Structure 1
Amino acid sequence: MRRYTIQTTIEELMAMFALDRVGHANLTPNYNVAPTQTVPAIIAEDGERVLAELRWGLIPFWAKDEKVGFKMINARAESVAAKPAYRNLIKRRRAVIPADGFYEWKKEKEGKQPFRFVLKSGEPFGFAGLWDEWRGPDGPVRSCTIITTTPNSLVADIHDRMPVMLPDEAVGRWLDQAVEDADELKGLLVPYDADRMRRYPVSREVGSVRNTGAELIQEVALNSK
């Protein structure tokens, strides 16, 4: 998953995720969130839920170069507890990345057709993520990766992966710093209930990161260019 949308206010996120404080996060609507951009994320610090800003594309603390982040946009749920870059983070540095939709592309004869996936309720939700802090030449950089899993029935004919969307009852466990059991945490990284979601085709303009307007989330007729 490489593109998503977030148009939720800080006030809405504070209520939805029971935030204790807002860090240096600056939240403005983004209809085409892309890798390497700074994104809002909820992390746990000193027992509090904090809204922070993280760069999308994980740079492990031991990385020699920040370019590694381009390859660590997503982490697979099946191996997240075993890979060196993630196995310590899943115990101590978990994040929830707020969103209200995500895009995937379906191969058609006329080219790739993008679809937007949302909750039927229209409410925002949170992706399961991991974060780390890298000490670069210009100072510390906090970054994150979004965890993906096998697709549910709504996504399966378009893509073989989907982001882990945490239901409300799983958010607390994911952010609870007292929970460190990898098997228990991996049990939360499952496909979201397809019956609570819907999808619709959107403009192919979403394929370019230069396009960021609200028109990107408008439904279009299939095969629309």
Structure 2
Amino acid sequence: MCGRYTLLADELEILTAFDLEQDTIEGYIPSYNIAPGQQVLAIIHDGKQKRAGLLKWGLVPKWAEDEKIGYKMINARSETAHQKPSFKQLMGKKRCLILADSFYEWKQTSDGKQPQRIELENRKVFTFAGLWDKWEHKGKQLFTCTILTKKANTFMQDIHHRMPIILPKHKEDEWIQPVKMEPLVSQQLLESFDEDQLKAYAVHTYVNSAENNDEQCIVPLTS
């Protein structure tokens, strides 16, 4: 799964890296410890252009009666998302990029779970494959998202059995292209992506609390 990550890039760096024509990203604040339920930075294509904005992390499908379902839907398994009622239609037409520059995972050790920070070797800011939806109920409106995950690759298997899907840079626009795809086609597209090189290092359990959000979260753990 993916339950915590970071995004430390400044606004201008993001606008430039993703060729966004907007002048600003309303509400964006860099974070050392992004957690479910928070507003996260994502990019969608509105049919005219790409645009970046905030979505609440934890998908609330448009048919849901209670928004609390979002806390159970922070991730979606890519292997079955094209079949599940909560994700099937979104795979076809509501795909997004969720921006990050690292993510955390907890490795089981003899001393307990040890948090690890995972980054890409060759890219500072990257994107997770995501899905989004708009929810309206009794006058309240939410825009929410979920991160697609897959079975861990060779590198990640030593840390955790699942991992978020990291999109290759040259495939990001294809993932959010403003055309409707058959859900199975979207799923097959995800399977076709090559994997980037990952690197990881241990960090302090300070990061375990989502209330902690400062540089101490990413300081390498020393023995």
* TM-score normalized with structure 2 length: 0.93
Q: Secondary structure at the match of 2:115?
A: strand
Matched, 1:193 2:195: yes
Deviations 1:139-187 (A, max 9, x none): 2100000000111111111111100000111101101012513333223
Preserved contact between residue 128 and residue 165 of structure 1 (Cα < 8 Å):
yes
CA distance in 1, matches of 2:141, 2:93: 18
Residues matched between the structures, number = 221
Preserved contact between residue 39 and residue 55 of structure 1 (Cα < 8 Å):
yes
Matched to 1:31, the amino acid is Y
Matched, 1:112 2:113: yes
Q: Secondary structure at the match of 2:71?
A: helix
Q: Which residue of 2 aligns with 1:45?
A: 46
Q: Which residue of 2 aligns with 1:32?
A: 33
Unmatched tracts of structure 2, length 5 or more: none
Shift of 1:210: 1.2
Matched to 2:181, the amino acid is E
Matched to 1:213, the amino acid is D
Matched, 1:161 2:162: yes
Q: Which residue of 2 aligns with 1:57?
A: 58
Q: Which residue of 1 aligns with 2:141?
A: 140
CA distance in 1, matches of 2:72, 2:127: 22
Q: Secondary structure at the match of 2:83?
A: coil
Unmatched tracts of structure 1, length 5 or more: none
Matched to 1:56, the amino acid is W
Preserved contact between residue 40 and residue 97 of structure 1 (Cα < 8 Å):
yes
Shift of 1:192: 5.8
Q: Which residue of 2 aligns with 1:125?
A: 126
Deviations 1:48-103 (A, max 9, x none): 11111100000001100001001100000001111111111111111100000000
Shift of 1:46: 2.6
Matched to 2:215, the amino acid is A
Preserved contact between residue 23 and residue 50 of structure 1 (Cα < 8 Å):
no
Q: Which residue of 2 aligns with 1:3?
A: 4
CA distance in 2, matches of 1:40, 1:107: 30
CA distance in 2, matches of 1:19, 1:90: 23
Preserved contact between residue 7 and residue 29 of structure 1 (Cα < 8 Å):
yes
Cα RMSD of the aligned pairs, angstroms, is: 1.7
